[in-house]
Amino acid sequence: MTSSMKPMPRQMMLWVVAGLLVSVWAFPVLWALLTSFKTERDVLAYPPVLFFTPTLANYREVLFGPASILPNLWSSLVVTCTATALTMAFAIPAAYALARLRYPFKRASGFYVLVTQMLPPVGLVIPYYLALQRLGALDTYSGMVTIYLTFSLPFAIWLMVSYFEDVPYEMEEAALLDHAGRWGALWHVILPQVRGGIAVTTVFVFLNAWNEFMFAVVLGGNKVRPVTVAMFNFISVEQTQWAKVAAGAMVAMAPVILLGLLAQKHIVKGLTVGAVKGGGRR
């Protein structure tokens, strides 16, 4: 009886800690959601108003008003999806080579990828600006996608390497003995084993590109203006329209939330596969 009662306090403590951690993340999101349905008068009221008459005026203004962010959502979608697709197309074979193949300068190439990931982004803004200006690629989709690749690709490669290293070599050797070839073994044997890792990496790359602000505000313009920059249309020296900013933030979060819900199963599997296999080795 005593032994069965002992785990309960520990489990309750875990639930309490988990609840606190989730609340720390969820509170700003819920508060922004409430703010998006308030009038500017209710937003600035003190003490804060918890009971109010909700309004959709902020969403109408954000989506269909003079400062609509719909064109900016399209810019973010084009840049982010293109950068994510190209990143994964390059990262998968690169990570496979670093994890499974032997070739000259392998250590140097891996170190180079690591160094490019460690460079501070703020130190690259001016060189990127001058390079794109010289090429005439400022305020273009191609220029923005190219810059996004510079910080997404190293991250994706290093994240994918760990998943490729977890796949047993015997499976690949069996495919090679059956004359599958490197590409055949990668496509038919290795990739099915790392689907969860690919899903996790894709989501993280998408999130990093979608939420990026510093490069977008410096290298973008009127033609290519991501939604993270467009939300500043509601912030001025005289006034900050907090309700419209919150509504814009909710609209900008919608694609990310949808992607997370669609890929939830693969994300959980990808995040736990390394721990399960690591436990098996012990």
Q: Per residue in 97-106, pLDDT tens?
A: 888 877 787 7
- pLDDT band at residue 1 using 50, 70 and 90 as cut-offs: very low
Tokens 């939420």 locate to 211
Cβ atoms of 63 and 227 closer than 8 Å: no
Q: 141-165 and 264-281 helices cross at what angle (nearest 10)?
A: 30
Most distant CA atoms of the chain, gap in Å? 76
Cβ atoms of 200 and 265 closer than 8 Å: no
CB atoms within 10 A of CB 116: 15
Tokens 């500017």 locate to 40
Q: What is the pLDDT of residue 19?
A: 84
- pLDDT band at residue 273 using 50, 70 and 90 as cut-offs: low
pLDDT(68) > 50: yes
Q: What phi, psi does 44 have (nearest 5°)?
A: -90, 0
Pairwise CA distance, residues 11 & 172, whole Å = 42
Pairwise CA distance, residues 233 & 199, whole Å = 34
CATH superfamily of 58-281: MetI-like (1.10.3720.10)
Task: Look at phi and psi of residue 139 and say left if phi exceeds 0, alpha if psi is from -120 to 50, else beta.
Answer: left
Mean pLDDT of the 84-92 span: 94
pLDDT(130) > 90: yes
Tens of pLDDT, residues 2-15: 444 455 677 888 88
Of the segments 22-31, 247-256, 269-278, which one has the largest average pLDDT value?
Answer: 247-256
Handedness of CA 153, 159, 163, 165 (dihedral sign): positive
Higher pLDDT: 115 or 271? It is 115
- The DSSP-derived string for 152-189 is HHHHHHHHHHHHHHTS-HHHHHHHHHTT-HHHHHIIII
Q: What integer best gives the mean pLDDT of the chain? A: 83
Percentage of the chain modeled with pLDDT above 90: 30
Q: 264-281 and 195-211 helices cross at what angle (nearest 10)?
A: 130
pLDDT(240) > 60: yes
Q: What is the pLDDT of residue 275?
A: 47
pLDDT(94) > 60: yes
Q: What is the pLDDT of residue 17?
A: 86
Show the tokens assigned to 41.
């008068």
β-partners of residue 240 are 235
Closest C-alpha to 134, from 217, 213, 219: 219
Sequence spans of domains, the chain: 58-281
Pairwise CA distance, residues 282 & 280, whole Å = 5
Pairwise CA distance, residues 265 & 274, whole Å = 15
Tens of pLDDT, residues 179-219: 677 777 777 788 888 888 888 899 889 989 999 999 999 99
**How many degrees, rounded to 5, is the angle at CA 17 between CA 15 and CA 21?**
115
282 three-class SS: coil
Mean pLDDT of the 248-256 span: 90
Q: What is the pLDDT of residue 190?
A: 83
Tens of pLDDT, residues 168-186: 877 777 777 676 777 777 7
Pairwise CA distance, residues 166 & 277, whole Å = 7
- pLDDT band at residue 278 using 50, 70 and 90 as cut-offs: very low
Mean pLDDT of the 133-141 span: 92
